[in-house]
């Protein structure tokens, strides 16, 4: 669940230009461009692999040079009202605002080629804007950017060197007060492939709850992340595949377990699909669920391609896809906790069901809320606890019935 | 000491068929079975709180004339160990056939429509194999949740929601015994909120009378707000507003934190969907999606995934 604690990526996000590691040429280039910007200079595009600091460079440079940043990402740009009512006034009516403005389109390669509305809007904006337009893209060669590319100043950013990443990681460790072995930091940095964000995420994964980690252990833990990356990659290919054949091939050539892929699809479909197509999309997912239960029960593995086709169709049926970032399936993360909780519920209910002629479903539906309510009464609580001999049972009562009661009635 | 005396629903559950209200036809048929000393396999169908368990227990009690212990067993069918447990229990029954009196035992199987189709097939074979020593009383919310071959082997009894008059009668009987005073408006509110569910009515009455031994309209309304499953309505509203991610989170909470059965969630959603304000064309599409989800869950599909499609249907626009 969400905690108030900042992730290390957030916590150690650069706040000044000096804190941005690597890409010195791009930094200088961008600042120069901004400083000599006039209304003919129009737009610039920072492009490069993920996690090299594109977004953060724009944010830091804006604040250093006294710009207020109007930020949009791929999902905002498909909202016409947002473009018309927020971006347009910002780009034309700078006198309305006290400070200077800069319009920033993040993840611009996430706009699909079909979304000509957003693309035309941006093209027109580049021509007519009275404030700087900045864009960031992983893949500047995306076909959708074909026309935009010709009109903007391109600033390439590169993968960050292993040594620079190690140095940054060591600083973070020092600040967090964790001991870390040089070889583990090297491992993290090498695995990150120049992606500072991924490196810091891995570092937090390894050290936030442990004192020290040796190389073998780190390797084991991080290879789990590897799986995660592979699934990300598969999912990205499937979600944006142009044909059923390509999508199905991406699924069947993945080395991940079909049931895991399924969980990832179920988790992420709502992020990719707009409201209107979600129903159609989820129907395919639901059919895939039924099919997979049959396949695994009866060992009909030759039907697996049909399962993959259904999952692929779940994406293909979406005509306008959001370029969302994928997230880890909640169901997989919570699996163990839910299993434990279910065990506790059963233990508690078997005590009550012994004396009350009530089924499991009815116990949870009718009796738990009733017990919660009646337990507000001290006498009732005491008489109930008197009837519970087992200490563990009392604890379950306290956590499941009273714990919730406290939350609801305090 | 048992917890049964702490809860009015259990404390005042009718012990004999004679004490049951509003079920004249069911009761008279059950009594005729007792008279001839034989009962068929039975299926009691109806929503919660309509007296299915009570009728089954009263029958057992009357049939064995108070010495029912060891001769009947109440099991919950939705347990995934369910079908194996049932087989073991029935085997034990068969081994220890009573020497005198009624020559069979009774197995009450609660929530049997929560069983998957496969489990029900297995149950059907058990019913056939041990027909001579065991009678089954299956309790279910929906008749169509039970596979056809089982239905055809059972005498079906229907338990529709209780009428307001009978809810009132039942309530007053309990309130008098508990020496609780009540106002007419309080009673009206309980009857309204109970929707023909006697257990719910009595639960509300017990909660609302609290320590004060007085039932007022205010205390009832306060309790109704807490005991009603508002979560389901909120989930539906979130989906209607287009916030799928929040609606899905709420669904997960209902399924995993509260541990509600898919069956209960689907039934409650069905009730809500019938009354909530919505374009009629959309309503039948959504309710249709709910039917599909219900069927697939009973086939053994994943409840969260199947019910999610209903939430997505609520977000879709079916105008065209």
- Kindly list the structural domains of chain B, giving each domain's residue range(s) and its CATH number in brackets, ordered by start: 3-158 (3.40.50.300), 164-227 (1.10.8.60), 230-315 (1.20.272.10)
CA gyration radius, chain B:
21
Please check whether residues A115 and A33 belong to one and the same domain. yes
Residue A279 to residue B289, Cβ atoms within 8 A: yes
Q: What is the mean pLDDT of residues A329-356?
A: 87
Q: Residue A226: CB partners within 8 Å, gap ≥ 6?
A: A191
Quickly state the pLDDT bin for A406 (edges 50, 70, 90). Answer: very low
In a domain, A258, yes or no: yes
Euclidean distance between CA atoms A17 and A13, whole angstroms: 11
Tell me what pLDDT residue A360 has: 86
Residue B78 to residue A355, Cβ atoms within 8 A: no
Please check whether residues A168 and A208 belong to one and the same domain. yes
Tell me what pLDDT residue A354 has: 79
Tell me what pLDDT residue B202 has: 95
In a domain, A1, yes or no: no
Please check whether residues A182 and A212 belong to one and the same domain. yes
Output A41 or A38, whichever has higher pLDDT.
Answer: A38
In a domain, A6, yes or no: no
Residue B305 to residue A289, Cβ atoms within 8 A: yes
**pLDDT tens sequence across B139-152:** 998 887 888 899 99
Measured between CB atoms, which of B301, B302, B312 is closest to A282?
B312
Measured between CB atoms, which of B111, B229, B244 is closest to A359?
B111
- Single residue among A175, A204, A231 that ends a domain in this structure: A231
pLDDT at A65 over 50: yes
In terms of phi and psi (left: phi > 0; alpha: psi -120 to 50; beta: otherwise), the region of B244 is alpha
Range of the domain at A403: 330-409
Q: What is the mean pLDDT of residues A50-78?
A: 84
Please check whether residues A149 and A86 belong to one and the same domain. yes
Please check whether residues A207 and A267 belong to one and the same domain. no
**pLDDT tens sequence across A225-241:** 666 667 888 888 888 88
pLDDT at A288 over 60: yes
Closest chain B residue to A289, measured at CA: B301
Q: Residue A134 — φ and ψ, nearest 5°?
A: -125, 145
Quickly state the pLDDT bin for A2 (edges 50, 70, 90). Answer: very low
Which regions of chain B are under pLDDT 70?
A: 68, 78-82, 94-95, 97-101, 228-229, 319-320
Quickly state the pLDDT bin for A6 (edges 50, 70, 90). Answer: confident
Q: Residue B70 — φ and ψ, nearest 5°?
A: 85, -10
Considering only CA atoms, which of A350, A320, A205, A45 is closest in space to residue B85?
A: A350
pLDDT at A4 over 90: no
Task: Kindly report the CATH number assigned to the domain that includes residue A175.
Answer: 1.10.8.60
Tell me what pLDDT residue A143 has: 77
Residues in chain B within 8 Å Cβ distance of A290: 296, 299, 301
Output B55 or A208, whichever has higher pLDDT.
Answer: B55
Considering only CA atoms, which of A382, A379, A373 is closest in space to residue A402?
A: A373
Please check whether residues A139 and A51 belong to one and the same domain. yes
> SS in 3 state form for chain A?
CCCCCCCHHHHCCCCCHHHCCCCHHHHHHHHHHHHCCCCCCCEEEEECCCCCCHHHHHHHHHHHCCEEEEEECHHHHCCHHHHHHHHHHHHHCHHHCCCEEEEEECCHHHCCCCCHHHHHHHHHHHHHCCCCEEEEECCCCCHHHHHHHCCCEEEECCCCCHHHHHHHHHHHHHHHCCCCCHHHHHHHHHHHCCCHHHHHHHHHHHHCCCCCCCHHHHHHHHHHHHHHHHHHHHHHHHHCCCCHHHHHHHHHCCCCCHHHHHHHHHHHHHHHCCHHHHHHHHHHHHHHHHHHHHHHHHCCHHHHHHHHHHHHHHHHCCCCCCCCCCCCCHHHHHHHHHHHHHHHHHHHHHHHHHHCCCCHHHHHHHHHHHHHHHCCCHHHHHHHHHCCCCHHHHHHHHHHHHHHHHHHHC
Please check whether residues A171 and A72 belong to one and the same domain. no
Query: In angstroms, how far apart are the furthest CA atoms of chain B?
Result: 70
Closest chain B residue to A291, measured at CA: B301
- Evaluate whether A155 touches A126 at the Cβ level (below 8 Å): no
**pLDDT tens sequence across B50-88:** 999 999 999 999 988 877 677 788 888 766 556 777 777
CA distance B2 to chain A (A): 6
Euclidean distance between CA atoms B283 and B270, whole angstroms: 10
Please check whether residues A151 and A119 belong to one and the same domain. yes
Sequential DSSP letters for B146-178: S-HHHHTTSEEEE-PPPPHHHHHHHHHHHHHHT
Q: Residue A353 — φ and ψ, nearest 5°?
A: -70, -20
Please check whether residues A340 and A304 belong to one and the same domain. no
CA distance A345 to chain B (A): 8
Q: What is the mean pLDDT of residues A82-111?
A: 75
**pLDDT tens sequence across A137-150:** 988 887 788 888 88
Residue A4 buriedness (CB in 10 A; 0-12 / 13-18 / 19+): exposed
Quickly state the pLDDT bin for A94 (edges 50, 70, 90). Answer: low
Interface test with B, best of A286, A319, A397 (most B CBs within 10 A): A286
Please check whether residues A208 and A287 belong to one and the same domain. no
Tell me what pLDDT residue B190 has: 95
In a domain, A354, yes or no: yes
- Single residue among A183, A202, A231 that ends a domain in this structure: A231
Q: What is the mean pLDDT of residues A356-376?
A: 87
Output A39 or A48, whichever has higher pLDDT.
Answer: A48
In terms of phi and psi (left: phi > 0; alpha: psi -120 to 50; beta: otherwise), the region of B66 is left
In a domain, A7, yes or no: no
Q: Which of A96-100, A360-364, B87-91 has the highest mean pLDDT?
A: A360-364
Please check whether residues A146 and A97 belong to one and the same domain. yes
**pLDDT tens sequence across A9-23:** 888 999 999 899 989
- Single residue among A208, A231, A254 that ends a domain in this structure: A231
Buried b (16+ CB within 10 A) or exposed e, A240-261: bbeeeeebbbbbeebebebeeb
Q: How many domains does chain A have?
A: 4
Tell me what pLDDT residue A1 has: 37
Q: What is the mean pLDDT of residues A48-70?
A: 90
| Percent of chain A clearing pLDDT 90 (strictly above) | 29
- Evaluate whether A239 touches A251 at the Cβ level (below 8 Å): no
Euclidean distance between CA atoms A328 and B38, whole angstroms: 58
Tell me what pLDDT residue A295 has: 92
In a domain, A4, yes or no: no
Tell me what pLDDT residue B226 has: 73
Residue A362 to residue B309, Cβ atoms within 8 A: no
In a domain, A323, yes or no: no
Please check whether residues A169 and A152 belong to one and the same domain. no
Q: What is the mean pLDDT of residues A356-381?
A: 87
In a domain, A129, yes or no: yes
Tell me what pLDDT residue B285 has: 92
Sign of CA dihedral B150, B152, B155, B157: positive
């Amino acid at each position: 669940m969400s905690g108030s604690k900042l992730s290390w990526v957030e916590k150690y996000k650069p706040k000044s230009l000096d804190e941005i590691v690597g890409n010195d040429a791009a930094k200088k280039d961008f600042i120069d461009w901004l400083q000599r910007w006039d209304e003919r200079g129009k737009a610039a595009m920072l492009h490069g692999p993920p996690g090299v600091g594109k977004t953060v460079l724009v944010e830091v440079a804006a604040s250093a040079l006294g710009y207020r940043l109007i930020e949009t990402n791929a999902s905002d740009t498909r909202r016409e009202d947002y473009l018309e009512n927020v971006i347009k006034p910002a780009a034309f009516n700078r006198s309305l605002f006290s400070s200077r403005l800069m319009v920033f389109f993040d993840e611009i390669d996430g706009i699909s080629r079909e979304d000509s509305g957003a693309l035309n809007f941006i093209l027109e904006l580049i021509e007519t804007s009275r404030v700087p337009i900045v864009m960031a893209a992983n893949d500047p060669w995306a076909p959708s950017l074909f026309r935009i590319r010709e009109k903007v100043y391109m600033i390439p950013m590169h993968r960050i060197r292993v040594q620079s990443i190690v140095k940054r990681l060591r600083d973070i460790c020092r600040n967090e007060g964790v001991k870390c072995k040089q070889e583990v930091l090297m491992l993290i940095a090498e695995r990150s492939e120049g992606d500072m964000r991924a490196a810091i995420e891995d570092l937090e994964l390894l050290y936030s709850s442990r004192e020290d980690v040796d190389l073998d252990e780190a390797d084991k833990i991080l290879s789990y992340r590897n799986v995660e990356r592979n699934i990300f990659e598969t999912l990205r290919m499937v979600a944006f595949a142009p044909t059923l054949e390509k999508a199905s091939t991406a699924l069947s050539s993945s080395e991940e377990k079909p049931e895991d892929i399924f969980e990832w699809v179920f988790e992420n479909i709502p992020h990719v699909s707009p409201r209107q197509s979600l129903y159609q999309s989820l129907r395919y997912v639901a059919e895939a669920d039924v099919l997979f239960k049959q396949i695994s029960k009866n060992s009909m593995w030759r039907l697996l391609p049909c399962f993959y086709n259904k999952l692929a169709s779940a994406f293909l049926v979406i005509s306008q896809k959001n370029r969302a970032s994928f997230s880890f399936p909640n169901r997989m993360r919570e699996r163990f906790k839910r299993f434990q909780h279910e065990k506790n519920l059963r233990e508690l209910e078997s005590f009550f069901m012994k004396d009350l002629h009530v089924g499991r479903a009815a116990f949870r539906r009718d009796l738990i809320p009733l017990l919660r309510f009646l337990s507000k009464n001290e006498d009732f609580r005491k008489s109930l606890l008197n009837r519970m001999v087992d200490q563990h049972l009392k604890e379950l009562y306290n956590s499941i019935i009273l714990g919730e009661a406290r939350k609801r009635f305090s | 000491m048992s917890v049964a005396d702490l809860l009015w629903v259990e404390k005042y559950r009718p012990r004999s068929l004679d004490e049951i209200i509003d079920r004249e036809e069911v009761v008279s048929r059950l009594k005729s079975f007792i008279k001839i000393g034989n009962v068929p396999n039975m299926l009691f169908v109806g929503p919660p709180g309509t007296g299915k368990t009570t009728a089954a227990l009263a029958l057992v009690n009357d049939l064995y004339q108070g010495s029912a212990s060891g001769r009947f067993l109440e099991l919950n069918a939705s347990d995934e160990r369910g079908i194996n447990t049932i087989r073991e229990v029935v085997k034990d029954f068969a081994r220890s056939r009573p020497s005198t009196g009624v020559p069979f035992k009774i197995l009450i199987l609660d929530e049997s429509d929560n069983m998957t189709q496969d489990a029900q097939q297995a149950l059907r074979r058990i019913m056939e194999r041990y027909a001579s020593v065991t009678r089954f009383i299956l309790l279910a919310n929906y008749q169509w949740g039970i596979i056809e071959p089982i239905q055809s082997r059972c005498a079906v009894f229907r338990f529709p929601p209780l009428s307001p008059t009978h809810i009132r009668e039942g309530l007053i009987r309990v309130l008098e015994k508990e020496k609780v005073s009540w106002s007419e408006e309080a009673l009206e509110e309980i009857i309204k909120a109970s929707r023909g569910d006697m257990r719910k009515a009595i639960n509300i009455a017990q909660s609302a009378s609290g320590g004060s031994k007085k039932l007022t309209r205010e205390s009832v309304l306060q309790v109704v707000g807490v005991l009603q499953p508002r979560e389901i309505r909120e989930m539906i509203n979130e989906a209607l507003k287009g916030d799928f991610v929040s609606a899905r989170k709420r669904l997960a909470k209902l399924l995993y934190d509260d541990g509600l059965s898919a069956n209960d969630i689907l039934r409650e959603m069905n009730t809500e969907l019938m009354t909530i304000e919505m374009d009629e064309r959309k309503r039948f599409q959504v309710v249709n999606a709910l039917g599909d989800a219900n069927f697939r869950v009973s086939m053994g599909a994943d409840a969260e995934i199947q019910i999610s499609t209903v939430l997505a249907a609520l977000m879709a626009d079916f105008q065209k």
